[in-house]
Amino acid sequence: MTMMNRTKCLEILKRHIADEIVISSYSTASEWVEMSDRALNYYSHGAMGLGSSHGLGMALALPHKRVVVFDGDGSLLMNLGTLVTIAAAAPKNLVHLCFHNGTYEANGGHPLPKRDVDFCGMARSAGIKQVHLLDNMANFEQQIGGILKQEGPVFADIHVETGPITPRAYDDMYKPERRQKLREALKA
């Protein structure tokens, strides 16, 4: 697999994210909170794999808002049925991005049972119409803005290198005050 640098991908995403709700988890969340600490961020926790399910709930409840999920490959493997559930519910405002580095990075960097999983094939088989594979920076930079605006549900498999295995500031990310700020921002 060709690999991109996740930090660079997130920097590009930051340029395109405006008033969308962004749901992130674990390693990607750790980088995103450092890069773009905003009220409309939600840090999925409590049970690994449920980021896309949180996103589906928000997308159904808030059809006027775009919801973008930054999932991980290990997380998605723990909740593969979510692709079928999302395809069936078919929210037009949900974009599901999977950062695919082949490891359980947040759990010590051990490999997935199989690194080169075909998530795009799974998403298509589940019934998601808008499916993208992004495995080089030129394509990512060119396409991501359009992908974020596509009618959902949208899925993209983003091939990235494994990031640094460093301590994560989970306590700060998961503070109830952050979830309260999101609620207030959504009511504003």
Partner 1 sequence: MNAPTKAADTGGTLSGAKIIAAVKAAGVSHVLSVPDLHTAKGLLAPIAVDKELQLVRVCKEDETLGIAAGLLYGDKRSLILIQYTGFLYAINAIRGVACEQKLPIVMMIGLLGKEPGVAPKDSKRFGSRLIQPMLDTLGIDHHYIDLDEDVRLIEPAINKAHETSRPVAFVIGRRPV
Whole-number minimum distance, CB 62 to partner 1, in Å? 4
Whole-number minimum distance, CB 46 to partner 1, in Å? 3
Distances 165 to 124, 129, 179 between C-alpha atoms, Å:
32, 35, 26
Residue numbers of the site for partner 1 (CB under 8 A)?
Answer: 21, 42, 44-47, 49-62, 79, 81-82, 84-85, 88-89, 176, 179, 182-183, 186
Whole-number minimum distance, CB 162 to partner 1, in Å? 25
The Cβ of residue 169 has, within 10 Å, a number of other Cβ atoms equal to 12
Whole-number minimum distance, CB 136 to partner 1, in Å? 32
Q: What tokens appear for 9 in the block?
A: 């991908």
C-beta of 84 vs 133, nearer to partner 1 = 84
Give me the DSSP letters along the chain. Answer: ---B-HHHHHHHHHHH-SS-EEEE-HHHHHHHHHH---TTEEE--SSTT-HHHHHHHHHHH-TTS-EEEEEEHHHHHTTTHHHHHHHHH--TTEEEEEEE-SEEGGGTSEEPSSTT--HHHHHHHHT-SEEEEE-SHHHHHHHHHHHHHS-SSEEEEEEB---------HHHHT-HHHHHHHHHHHH-
C-beta of 147 vs 182, nearer to partner 1 = 182
C-beta of 87 vs 137, nearer to partner 1 = 87
C-beta of 63 vs 121, nearer to partner 1 = 63
C-beta of 47 vs 169, nearer to partner 1 = 47
Whole-number minimum distance, CB 11 to partner 1, in Å? 27
Identity of the residue numbered 173: M
Whole-number minimum distance, CB 70 to partner 1, in Å? 15
C-beta of 17 vs 69, nearer to partner 1 = 69
